[in-house]
Amino acid sequence: MTTTPRAHNLIRLLLLGAAIGGFGWWIGARWGPPQPTRVGAVPDAPQLPQATGAGELTPDEAVNVRIYEQAAPAVANIVTRTIEYDFFFNPVPVEGAGSGFLIDAQGHILTNAHVIENAEQIEVSLGERGEQGRYRARVVGRDERNDVALLKIDPGRRTLKPLPLGDSGAVRVGQRVLAIGNPFGFQSTLTTGVVSATDRTVQTGPQTFIDQAIQTDAAINRGNSGGPLLNTRGEVIGINTLIISPSGAASGIGFAIPINTARRIAQDLIRYGRPRRAYLGVEGMQLWPELAEALGLPVGEGILIERVEPDGPADRAGLRGGDRAVRAGLRRLIVGGDVLVAIDGEPVRNSFDLNLLMNRRQPGDNVTVTIYRGDRKMEVRVRLGER
């Protein structure tokens, strides 16, 4: 059978289409998108291990949770309000924030003096998210030298559960501690750590300090000031007060006022409305070796007593002030008095040392004062007075 040219062309087109179709199928099979397959043909995915012990706490975690749940309702979020003035002397309301904690069922709250500094209005909320209520607080008193303040709220018919106070004198380095406060406005935040050191003296100003401070690595940030530092029995052993940090954030060096100091101050504030301060009743100047040599004194360190308060504790004990004036450079000195070098065997090199030692005593305490009178070393018993 013969074929026409038209038939030849039709056959060629059919063969070419079949060839193109076969090549397209090969391309699709090699590089095309994956083709759907039946579910049963897919291998089973590996199963993740089931959780074990879900909801269980380690012994340390259980202690943290227990203490937090017990203590958080008694931790106060303190908001202060004051008025400042801008460049044009327009009044501008300013808020501050800090922490505190209940120490009795009558509504007394311990905090730092710097938390309420210059405050015209103080508002306190208790517990996590303030569920225990908000209160207007008044200042019972404050002790700027030790950075302690006492507030009072009226709980009405609410039953308050204060925190138990421990013994800061029994604190040991390495002991686990917990801090609760309101850093950066986040209420009832818990951090944990250990006691890094004890009996630190941290000077916060020319005449202010934290004496026998507890050092901890528990994170303390802005807003934690005034909150409690607790031991693992849930007892307060200190008031969180400051950090040492170049950046201003927690760096593992925080300090707390020992609760034994704060308890004594709180008792004075409740009973007298002021802290009771022991004092010796002397005024003088710090010696240094060159001055001592120029004055012919037998010691190069101590306080040269220039004046003794009439009928004060030192005067009644027989200590003597200066009796003549001399000039040392541009300064006028009163010389001839006793040189105070120690109290109860602890050295006194300057007025800060003297204030520190008086801070550890109570009015009415008897102390042994070591002095030099001329070349003669003497020990004198002095009954401290109240400033």
**108 part of the active site:** no
Query: From the candidates 99, 108, 125, 147, which is the catalytic residue?
Result: 147
> Known catalytic residue: 188?
no
Both structure tokens of 302: 């101590």
Q: Is 125 a catalytic residue?
A: no
Q: Which of 99, 168, 196, 225 is catalytic?
A: 225
Which is the catalytic residue, given 99, 108, 114, 125?
114
3-state SS track over the chain: CCCCHHHHHHHHHHHHHHHHHHHHHHHHHHHCCCCCCCHHHCCCCCCCCCCCCCCCCCHHHHHHHHHHHHHHHHEEEEEEEEEEECCCCCEEEEEEEEEEEECCCCCEEEECHHHHCCCCEEEEEECHHHCCCEEEEEEEEEECCCCEEEEECCCCCCCCCCCCECCHHHCCCCCEEEEEECHHHCCCEEEEEEEEEEEEEEECCCCCEEEEEEEECCCCCCCCCCCEEECCCCCEEEEEEEECCCCCCCCCCEEEEEHHHHHHHHHHHHHHCCCCCEECCEEEEECCHHHHHHHCCCCCCCEEEEEECCCCHHHHHCCCCCCEEEEECCEEEEECCCEEEEECCEECCCHHHHHHHHHCCCCCCEEEEEEEECCEEEEEEEECEEC
Catalytic residues: 114, 147, 225
